[in-house]
Amino acid sequence: MLLAEVTYRCPLHCAFCYNPTDYDKHTQNELSTEQWINVLRDARKLGALQLGISGGEPLLRDDIEEIVEEAGRLGYYTNLITSGVGLTEKRITAFKAGGLDHIQLSMHDITEEINNFITNTRTFELKKKVAAMIKDHGYPMVLNVVIHRYNIKHVKEILEMAEALGADFVELANTQYYGWSLVNRNQLMPTKEQIDEAEVITNEFRQRVGNKMKVYFVVPDYFSERPKKCMNGWGEVFMIVTANGDVLPCHSARVLPNMVFPNVKANGLGWVWQESPAFNKYRGDDWMKEPCRSCDEKHKDLGGCRCQAFLLSGDAEAADPVCTKSPHRHLIDEAIANAQKPYLQAQPILFRNDKNSRKLIEGENRELVADFHALP
Amino acid sequence: MSTISDNQDNQQAVTGAENGVAQSDVYAIARHYRFQWEEAQQCYVLLFPEGMIKLNGSAGEVIKRVNGRASVADIIQEVSQAFPDVPEIAADVLSMLNLAVDKAWLEKRN
């Protein structure tokens, strides 16, 4: 599975974005069309079959048509992951002709107010139009809705909106805390009760609509007792090529310390996948410390997420703090408790935009990221 | 980061084709799947977002004939002609098609 994060530029400024807070470093040195086409060819030779085209907002590049067409020729199953901003009749017609298989559209809320607030833009009406356009062109309509405190009370209405739009698949993705969403964690995290209620509502909705619409409910790991098998195993399935050509085993791997990530400008993908120190670092379980090393469940989750372990505990080889066997589980419980404190909730949200990214790079607002071992 | 969790396998199994496929039904590969021969794996595969189903030889022979035009009866006939020595092949083709409809790999076109 190859994920191409073709640009970090984005017209939306979502507070829950998992992109790196220092993404502004990587907006002026994006790979060229030709470099992307070479990436697709190399990865296909290695056996990649799935291509996700993501960002930022991929449609801010004007060569997505060419990338899609090459992916079609190479036999990829290609999925465009978009906010819908920049999707026009002309472009979607070209994508269809070029062999794009699937479009995943992000939606934010049933209410214009919350959509526009959380994305820090005015995009609500546009998203509804784009949803209809996707359907008209014979694509299944696949909506991804990131769930957080501001929209969790509207899950029923969100599902009803999706039904009215003719959605075939809806993913209710509870916010995971990386990048911008980690900085805004106190403002975004719902309570356990709200999540349980949202799940009950989702199940009732599933019963009612049956097979017509498939709903995924992604349980947030903070509220679980065991971590998720991050990326289905480090260097097992996923390869992420970012806007500037860095190759990562996981979207947020650049936060990890003492790691040098390969770059497609200098390294062939075959070497990257098989030989590079970065892709081998957390492959398998040799790297594990206690309590993971002797844990009889270690093969189920491989110790969870390395980035989350580092961001919260400062140790990339620690057990994911989500695990109740982790000596750092208290960090998760504190985060859950903190998110209910009115004075922390009242802190301003740091929206994902170029200005805020530059400020973080230049060392302003350090207190927001220092706790998370995430200084740029 | 983690990716999509799956959760509705139960629902799919319950709500598939209630009475099984009929001889006159026409199916196509469901819109969000792509069916192709995969050289590296030496088998037919069904691709969908973030996943892949490898089809064994006989499943591939059935699914490759599902094209939005051929009826179930046509497919049974074609497969029977291609493999004249296999006993009771019609029942196998039918159960393969039922499975594929249950799994929502196929969608009905008539």
Contacting residues of A for B17, CB less than 8 Å apart = none
Nearest to A373 by CA among A327, A321, A316, A329: A316
Residue A334 pLDDT > 80:
yes
pLDDT tens per residue across span A90-123: 999 999 999 999 999 998 876 777 777 777 777 7
Instruction: Give yes or no for a contact between A122 and A51, defined as CB atoms under 8 angstroms apart.
Output: no
Optimal mutation site among A1, A3, A102, interface B, most CBs of chain B within 10 A: A102
Round to whole Å and give the CA distance between A155 and A158. 5
Nearest to A131 by CA among A94, A171, A159, A167: A167
ipTM > 0.90 for the complex: no
pLDDT category of residue A39 using cuts at 50, 70 and 90: very high
Instruction: Say whether the peptide bond before residue A138 is cis (omega within 30 degrees of 0).
Output: no
A201-212 mean pLDDT: 92
pLDDT category of residue B11 using cuts at 50, 70 and 90: very low
Residue B7 pLDDT > 50:
no
A49-56 mean pLDDT: 94
Task: Please name the residue ranges forming H helices in B1-110.
Answer: 9-15, 57-63, 72-82, 89-102
User: CB–CB of B49 and A79 under 8 A?
Assistant: yes
pLDDT tens per residue across span A124-138: 788 889 999 999 998
**Tokens coding A225:** 């007792």
A168-192 mean pLDDT: 91
As a dihedral over the C-alpha atoms of residue A24, residue A26, residue A32, residue A34, rounded to 10 degrees, the angle is -140
Query: Cα A234 from chain centroid?
Result: 16
Q: First CA to last CA across chain A, in angstroms?
A: 28
Q: How far apart are the CA of B19 and the nearest CA of chain A, in angstroms?
A: 15
Residue A228 touches partner B, C-beta closer than 8 Å: yes
Contacting residues of A for B49, CB less than 8 Å apart = 50, 77, 79, 102, 104, 142
Optimal mutation site among B2, B6, B7, B50, interface A, most CBs of chain A within 10 A: B2
Instruction: Give yes or no for a contact between A276 and A262, defined as CB atoms under 8 angstroms apart.
Output: yes
Contacting residues of B for A139, CB less than 8 Å apart = 31-32
Q: What is the pLDDT of residue B4?
A: 36
Q: What percent of chain A has pLDDT over 70?
A: 99
Residue B10 pLDDT > 70:
no
A258-285 mean pLDDT: 96
CA dist A357 → A286, A360, B32 (Å): 36, 5, 36
Strand order in the sheet with B51-54: B34-38, B43-48, B51-54
Contacting residues of A for B30, CB less than 8 Å apart = 140
Q: How far apart are the CA of B88 and the nearest CA of chain A, in angstroms?
A: 32
SS3 category, A234: coil
SS3 category, A375: coil
pLDDT tens per residue across span B12-68: 333 344 568 999 999 999 888 899 998 878 899 999 876 889 999 999 999 999 999
Residue A376 pLDDT > 60:
no
Residue A292 pLDDT > 80:
yes
pLDDT tens per residue across span A57-79: 999 999 999 999 999 999 999 99
SS3 category, A73: helix
Q: What is the pLDDT of residue A374?
A: 61
Q: What percent of chain A has pLDDT over 90?
A: 71
Q: What is the pLDDT of residue B5?
A: 35
Q: Where are the beta strands (DSSP E) in A70-187?
A: 77-82, 102-107, 142-147, 169-174
DSSP A359: H
Nearest to A143 by CA among A154, A134, A156, A151: A134
pLDDT category of residue A164 using cuts at 50, 70 and 90: confident
Q: What is the pLDDT of residue A58?
A: 97
Nearest to A5 by CA among A328, A248, A223: A248
Q: What is the pLDDT of residue B19?
A: 63
